[in-house]
Amino acid sequence: MLIDSHCHLDYFQGDDRAGVLARAMAAGVGEMVTIGTRLTESAVVRGIAEANPLVWCTVGVHPHNAAEHPVPTPEAIAAEADHPKVIGIGESGLDYFYDKAPRDVQRESFRAHIRAARLAGLPLAIHARDADDDIAGILREEYAQGAFDFLLHCFSSTRSLCEAALGLGGYVSFSGILTFPKSQEIRDIARDVPRERLLVETDSPYLAPVPFRGKRNEPGYVGHTARVLGEIHGLDPEGIAALTTANFRRLFPKTA
């Protein structure tokens, strides 16, 4: 069984979502995690998870949306996570590529989410784009105040950030980017990530893997990324599915 550790099912509506879920099941995807991007929409992602026994969710504020409302307190974020189907915090982090929110607000929000993860005892899904030094620095500073679990989702960053995350016990999740012809550097980094820290995801509806690149992505396509990750680590499809599922259970113990 494969698990899509990061997707956005709220982007699919009605019968379309039902079809997406059915195709995922047919493709051997046994579970998936739909991700929160606005705290004001936490009820939406919780509702999707409640309605589907194969779906879990997270709650949080994406860095793109960090300035839409005042930065929530860690206590407020953790309160939204007090639900059986909420297994993580986020996605939060820093995005200096699009800069849709002021960087100081992004950093404040990121720290609030880290502290919420610590309060709730749940892992944090981290979005990192063109902000590796600040991500690594904040992770180290916050970790020194108390441990927390986390993963770098949709990894497409530098080796230095990957190593910093691994050094703090973090996990690394790979998306369809891993399958792109020009992503050899990412594949080289993936090769060096310890097997027990690997996860796979789609980040659907974005970043469809080869051979669907350029089309709308779906959780059912996660197997194509898993196959490439397995080849990198010398594992067959069954082996990489078993490995990443075991890693998922360890990182997200509420799903066990």
Give the mean pLDDT of 105-110. Answer: 98
pLDDT in tens, 30-58: 999 999 999 999 999 999 999 999 999 99
Vertex 215: Cα angle to 43 and 208 (nearest 5):
70
Distance CA 77, CA 255 (A): 20
Distance CA 232, CA 228 (A): 6
pLDDT band at 122 (very low <50, low <70, confident <90, very high): very high
Distance CA 90, CA 58 (A): 6
Location of structure tokens 């099912």: 9
pLDDT band at 224 (very low <50, low <70, confident <90, very high): very high
Computed over every residue of the chain, the mean pLDDT equals 98
Distance CA 161, CA 167 (A): 10
Q: In what order do the strands lie in the sheet with 86-95?
A: 2-7, 29-34, 55-59, 86-95, 124-129, 150-152, 171-174, 198-200
CB neighbour list of residue 155: distance below 8 Å, 6 or more residues apart: 162, 172, 173, 174, 175, 177, 186, 189, 190
Vertex 219: Cα angle to 168 and 122 (nearest 5):
35
Q: How far is CA 77 from CA 49, 90, 118, 173, in A?
A: 18, 9, 11, 23
Q: State the virtual CA torsion across 28, 253, 93, 226 in degrees, nearest 10.
A: -30
Give the mean pLDDT of 190-218. Answer: 98
The structure tokens listed for 143 are 């970790």
Closest among 103, 70, 69, 86 to 35, alpha carbons compared:
86
Share of the chain above pLDDT 70, in %: 100
Strands 86-95 and 124-129: parallel
| Domains defined for the chain, CATH in brackets | 2-255 (3.20.20.140)
CB neighbour list of residue 16: distance below 8 Å, 6 or more residues apart: none
